[in-house]
Amino acid sequence: MAFVARRLFFYLVAFLVAASINFLIPRLMPGDPVDIMFSQSGTRLSVENIAALKATFGFVDGPLWQQYLTYLGSVFTGDLGVSVKYFPISVVDVLGRALPWTLFLMGGATLLSFTMGTLLGILAAWRRGSRFDVTVSTAAVVSTATPAVVVSLFGLFVFGFTLKWFPIGYAADTGLDPALSLEFIGSVLYHAILPIATLSLVLTGDFLVTMRNNMINLLGEDYVTMGRAKGLSDRRVMLMYGARNALLPGVTSLAIAIGKILGGSLVTEVVFNYPGLGNILYKAILGRDYPVIQGQLLIMTLAMLLANFAADVAYAYLDPRLRRS
């Protein structure tokens, strides 16, 4: 419990630092950020509404520390204000509608890529130097070096425009009403195949290389040699003696990879016009919707910190040495 409490305190401090940077960036820009923020709103906002929104985001007349405290209060109370582009919808509602789609895309791609990368990495390490090892390791290096936007555009052009196997946009058929029906769920899954597949292709290489290297380092340990000397089957030695221990660093690499997964998801959503946070962020940047941009940066930061905290807790659970220490 002491280990978990220390890590929780560390990530709380990290979140405060990230929120502070998020607070300072608009205020370090030339000119008045609020005037830039609402310059395109025209007559849709009255002077009173603009003054109220200024107070909500901490853009108030007064010392910087007073603005900072007002901003922190809005962050921790979940009151992120009103979107300029989608006025009068609040930022929480705008991001809340897009968040489930991004989680679905990220969750599916992460589960698929981590499973495939881990299994292929185990087999590549066990058959080190074989044709299978050379083939999958080379493919992993190529996929790791290829940007997500390139793979997404290639998949969209080949399987969407040319072969017309999959839809090229949206999360479901526009003629269907969202409901817990087989028709709507099937449409959602069908529209998600190509985005998840292209994103998984980019992510699998990292997990494969990590698992292969971890596995190779452990195959020369004494307990692995002892398992073989006891006459255990290759499958048991490979999975229970090698892969089980090599998986520990993989948990940490999974948390570190969340940043790449999130970044790749945002790009993939823009390419496939998927209604997730990536599309919202892209439109907010084009529309200079600073409240939405700030809110999304906070969500991305919080997602990264929660992923790393979950990895720390899982690592402590999987490794008894951390619990004893």
pLDDT bin (cut points 50, 70, 90) of residue 204 is confident
**Which residues face 82 on adjacent strands?**
90
Please write down the HEC assignment for all residues of 238-269: HHHHHHHHHHHHHHHHHHHCHHHHHHHHHHHH
Q: Is the confidence at residue 184, as pLDDT, over 60?
A: yes
For every residue of 93-149, DSSP letters joined together read HHHHHHHHHHHHHHHHHHHHHHHHHHHHHHHHHHTTTSHHHHHHHHHHHHHHHS-HH
CA–CA gap between residue 290 and residue 159 (Å, rounded): 36
Inform me whether the pLDDT recorded for 237 exceeds 80: no
Cα–Cα nearest to 276, from 285, 266, 286, 290: 266
**Cα separation, 123 vs 115, whole angstroms:** 12
Q: What is the pLDDT of residues 71-104, one digit of tens each?
A: 777 777 777 777 777 767 778 888 888 888 888 8
Return phi, psi of residue 82, to 5°: -115, 140
Query: What is the model's pLDDT at position 97?
Result: 85
CATH 3.10.310.10 fits 91-304, yes or no: no
Q: What CA–CA distance (Å, rounded) separates 60 from 272?
A: 39
CA distances from residue 178 to 99, 270, 278 in whole angstroms, order as listed: 16, 21, 21
Between 314 and 147, the higher pLDDT residue? 147
Q: How big is the chain, counted in residues?
A: 325
Give the pLDDT of residue 43: 52
